[in-house]
Structure 1
Amino acid sequence: MAAANGHYYATRDPLGATGDFTTAPEISQMFGELVGLWCADLWDRAGRPTTHWVELGPGRGTLAADARRAMAKAGFEPAVHFVETSPVLRAAQATAVPGATFHDSVESLPDDAALLVVANEFFDALPIRQLLRGAQWRERLVACQDTLFLPIAGKPVPDAIVPEPLRDAPAGSILEVAPAAIGVMRALAARIARQGGAMLAIDYGYEGPALGDTLQAVKAHAFANPFEAPGEQDLTAHVDFTTLTAAAQSAGAVAWGPIEQGEWLVKLGIDHRAAALARATPDRGDAIAAERVRLVGDMGALFKALAITAPGWPTPAAFA
């Protein structure tokens, strides 16, 4: 999954009607604007400390551009940092947000000030591992026969690594774990706890532990076989927000949520923003209403928002 997604993102812009999928910032400017205002409000109530603004996997830079515009109106104009490895997407991001600093990983982010980190549809693309229940639990591996990739059962794994309520699951059950996501969350939570700041993570997922195979591929806005055409389609898996929360807390950060994306957007005032946009551009009234429905209704329950903050920082908006 890591190798396939590494090639996939490095060689194309996958977003939009001509790509493979569309994210919330590409649906409407309202999403990025509310993210920016959420950040500016938290920064203001924290005492306006010197702060770096960070986005993980920034796509085309659309969210950052919209957030930056909203933050500036609130008097918050932080330095922008992007964690991005794709040269194709870096070029688009540099155009959308001139002056942004690029990083290959979270390890090189600055350590001289607070960090406000945004991760929208980032954790779902990190590689997962799957455990398959037979007579005992085994790791699910991928084999290649000629040019065909197939899932196979690997060596047995100790029961101790499986959450106790799930150890006696029926044969054929699949448990997903995400060590890469846990590593990123722990690293950033430790930095935030030490330096000050917060993170907002928005993604599709669930509160675990839970069983189920959520590995999926998307090509041309339709689901595809994840074992076909490696590196030519987007591979993702649903995010276990319970595990991410525990990882953040174990590193010293305070966790808030998760709550549904729809609830988060409504509490932040998306209805007021949609009404204001419709008044300013009456010819787009129906389109703006449809965008609001996609963000709050269609995506609102599946997508969750999780916030983490440094100890002593204020309660983030919409999570009270």
Structure 2
Amino acid sequence: MERLRSQGPMTVEAYMEACNTYYYATRDPLGAGGDFTTAPEISQMFGELVGAALTDVWRRAGAPANVRYVELGPGRGTLASDALRVMRSAGLSPPVHLVETSPTLRQAQAALLGDVTHHDAIGDLPGDSPLLVVANEFLDALPIRQHVGSAERHVEWIGTGLAFDRDGEIVETSPARDEAVRALSEGLVALGGVALVIDYGHARSARGDTLQAVRSHRFAPVLDSPGENDLTSHVDFQRVGEVAQDAGAFVAGPVEQGAWLERLGIQARARALANASPARAGEIEAARARLCRPDQMGSLFKVLAIHSPEWPKPAGL
């Protein structure tokens, strides 16, 4: 607000970046006591199947001994914990590298995972070995630009509150997202490896306003309480694929999350967990349904793989 008063209107991109930088640096936003819940927090099955998919593609790539596990925006480390458990049971125990800027979440990740190496950006990752990368709900939090016609949309201070300076048919772009995908893809082409990008969004580029705010597991007005809400936008998977291919990487997908998990065997895993813990059978089935059903996370969330030309595409895509 002080910036708006002193410097005038700021772009939607600058507003989103400022809000999310403060938001993620000052709290653990996950779980029942936070603002939102991600797939790994819903069920161990999600992370386990991610780990199985990475192990499978690693084996089909010739099982290189020096591979690293990398996660972008790993939350509390829940997904990594479940994925690595499966990978280690299959004989793959890679060093763990996490791209995370939040001090609060870094502490939680280290407590859960033990020996990890943190990085501030994708470009800081080691450049000497193939990468097994997971980016679950990472791209949606990167700042976007919005245009109405040829004019960029801004946030301004009017009277006693915040407002957008223009409305109309909106076109969204994200230079920050493009930069992240390009850096990731160039690393995979140079080093070998694969990335699983899992997020909510649309398979084809489309016009429209997808900027949203979430607080206490409910949608909130985007301009209310700056820095106290989680601001995200839908990922344009067509654009992600184009940027990756322009960098020389191969792309598979996107496919809907529900279909992908079903192809990887989530029903069989759910049955095994229910047989081992009959008292939790209802809970396990509810989690599977939440991850897979089209009216829950199954259709809105997509899975796209980016891989080096020398590596095969992951299963399920």
TM-score by length of 2: 0.93
Residue 56 of structure 2 corresponds to: 41
- Alpha-carbon distance in structure 2 between the residues aligned to 1:25 and 1:44: 24
Residue 231 (structure 1) aligned with residue 227 (structure 2): yes
CA 1:143–1:116: 2 relative to 1, 3 Å: same
Residue 309 of structure 1 aligns with an amino acid whose one-letter code is: H
SS at match of 2:164: strand
CA distance in 2, matches of 1:148, 1:68: 47
State yes or no: 1:173 paired with 2:188. Answer: no
Stretches of 4+ aligned residues off by more than 6 angstroms: none
Name the structure 2 match of 1:162: none
| SS at structure 2 position matched to 1:299 | helix
Structure 2 counterpart SS, 1:5: helix
Query: Which of 5, 10, 17 in structure 1 is aligned with 2:25?
Result: 10
User: Unaligned regions of 5+ residues in structure 1, if any?
Assistant: 154-170
Matching of residue 205 in structure 1 with residue 201 in structure 2: yes
Q: Distance in 1 between matches of 2:39 and 2:96?
A: 20
Which of 290, 293, 297 is 1:299 aligned to? 297
* Secondary structure in 2 matching 1:21: coil
Deviation of 1:312 (Å): 2.0
Alpha-carbon distance between aligned partners in 1 of 2:176 and 2:102, rounded to the nearest angstrom: 18
What secondary structure is seen at the aligned counterpart in 1 of 2:133?
strand
Q: 1:142 aligns with which of 155, 161, 172?
A: 155
TM superposition score normalised by structure 1: 0.92
RMSD: 1.0
What is the match of residue 79 of structure 2? 63
Of 309, 312, 315 in structure 1, the residue corresponding to residue 313 of structure 2 is: 315
1: CA distance, partners of 2:197 / 2:165: 32
In structure 2, the residue matched to 1:282 is 278
Structure 2 residue identity aligned to 1:231: G
Find the aligned partners of 1:276 and 1:90 in 2 and give their Cα distance.
33
Match of 1:159 in 2: none
Q: Which amino acid aligns with 1:150?
A: A
The answer to whether 1:31 aligns with 2:46 is yes
Output the CA distance in 2 between the equivalents of 1:148 and 1:199: 42
- Judge conservation of contact 2:205–2:237 (CA < 8 Å) in 1: no
Q: In the alignment, what sits opposite 1:215?
A: 211
Answering whether residue 65 of structure 2 is matched by residue 52 of structure 1, we say: no
The 3 A distance-change label for structure 1 pair 146 and 78 is farther
Give secondary structure in 2 for the equivalent of 1:13. Answer: coil
Task: State the Cα distance separating 1:147 from its structure 2 match.
Answer: 5.1
- Cα shift readout 1:85-122 (whole Å, capped 9, x = no counterpart): 00001110001110010000011101000011100000
CA distance in 2, matches of 1:262, 1:8: 30
Cα distance, 1:149 vs structure 2 = 1.8
Taking the TM superposition and a 5 Å limit, the aligned residue runs for 1:87-102 are: 87-102=103-118
Residue 250 of structure 1 is aligned with which of 234, 246, 258? 246
Q: Distance in 1 between matches of 2:232 and 2:68?
A: 28
1:188 to 170, 173, 184: 184
Alpha-carbon shift at residue 224 of structure 1 (Å): 0.3
